[in-house]
Chain A
Amino acid sequence: MIKTDILIIGAGPTGLFAVFEAGLLKLKCHLIDALPQPGGQCSEIYPKKPIYDIPGFPEVLAGDLVNNLMEQIKPFDPGFTLGDRAETLEKQEDGNFIVTTTRGVKHQAPIVVIAGGLGSFEPRKPPIPVIGNYEDKGVAYIIRDPEVYRDKRVVIAGGGDSALDWSIFLSGIAKEVSLVHRRNDFRGALDSVEKVEELSKIGKINLITGAEVVDLKGEDSLDAVVIRHSGEAVSEEVKPTDYFIPLFGLSPKLGPIGDWGLEIEKNAIKVDNSFDYQTNIPGVYAIGDVNTYPGKLKLILCGFHEAAIMCQSAYQRIFPDKRYVMKYTTVSGIDGFDGSRKEAKREVVKSIN
Chain B
Amino acid sequence: MSDIKITIIDREGEAHVVNAPVDMNMNLMEVIRSYELAPEGTIGICGGMAMCASCQCYMLSHEHILPEKKYEEEDMLDQAFFVQDNSRLSCQIFITKEMEGLEVKIAPTAT
Q: Do A and B come from one complex?
A: yes
Mask, B28-46, CB within 8 Å of A = 1, is 0000000000011110011
- In the bound complex, residues from chain A placing their C-beta under 8 Å from that of B41 are 118, 254, 266-268
Shortest Cβ distance from residue A166 to the other chain B in the assembled complex, whole angstroms: 14
Interface centre among B39, B46, B75, B79 (most CB of A within 10 A): B79
CA distance A212 to B71 in the complex (A): 22
Q: Is B52 an interface residue (CB 8 A)?
A: yes
Count chain A residues whose beta carbon lies closer than 8 angstroms to a beta carbon of B.
25
CA distance A127 to B39 in the complex (A): 20
- In the bound complex, residues from chain B placing their C-beta under 8 Å from that of A118 are 41, 45
Shortest Cβ distance from residue A269 to the other chain B in the assembled complex, whole angstroms: 11
CA distance A49 to B72 in the complex (A): 13
Shortest Cβ distance from residue A111 to the other chain B in the assembled complex, whole angstroms: 26
Interchain Cβ contacts within 8 Å, total number: 56
CA distance A254 to B41 in the complex (A): 9
* A182 pairs with B83, CB closer than 8 A: yes
CA distance A178 to B84 in the complex (A): 24
* A251 pairs with B78, CB closer than 8 A: no
Q: Is A46 an interface residue (CB 8 A)?
A: yes
Q: A45-B51, A46-B49, A125-B110 are in contact. Are A267 and B42 (CB under 8 A)?
A: yes
- In the bound complex, residues from chain A placing their C-beta under 8 Å from that of B49 are 45-46, 49
CA distance A126 to B78 in the complex (A): 13
Q: Is B25 an interface residue (CB 8 A)?
A: no
CA distance A129 to B38 in the complex (A): 23
* B78 pairs with A159, CB closer than 8 A: yes
Q: A118-B45, A252-B45, A267-B41 are in contact. Are A160 and B78 (CB under 8 A)?
A: yes
- In the bound complex, residues from chain B placing their C-beta under 8 Å from that of A251 are 45, 52, 54, 110
Shortest Cβ distance from residue A210 to the other chain B in the assembled complex, whole angstroms: 13
Q: Is A79 an interface residue (CB 8 A)?
A: no
Q: B residues engaging A (CB < 8 A)?
A: 39-42, 45-47, 49, 51-52, 54, 71, 74-75, 78-83, 108, 110-111
Q: A residues engaging B (CB < 8 A)?
A: 41, 45-46, 49, 118, 124-127, 158-160, 181-183, 187, 248-249, 251-252, 254, 266-268, 298
Interchain Cβ contacts under 8 Å between A and B, 27 examples: A45-B46, A45-B49, A45-B51, A118-B41, A118-B45, A124-B79, A124-B81, A125-B111, A127-B82, A127-B108, A160-B75, A182-B83, A183-B78, A187-B74, A187-B78, A248-B80, A248-B81, A252-B45, A254-B41, A266-B39, A266-B40, A266-B41, A267-B40, A267-B41, A267-B42, A268-B41, A298-B47
Shortest 4 CB-CB distances between A and B: which pairs?
A: A267-B41, A266-B40, A159-B78, A187-B75
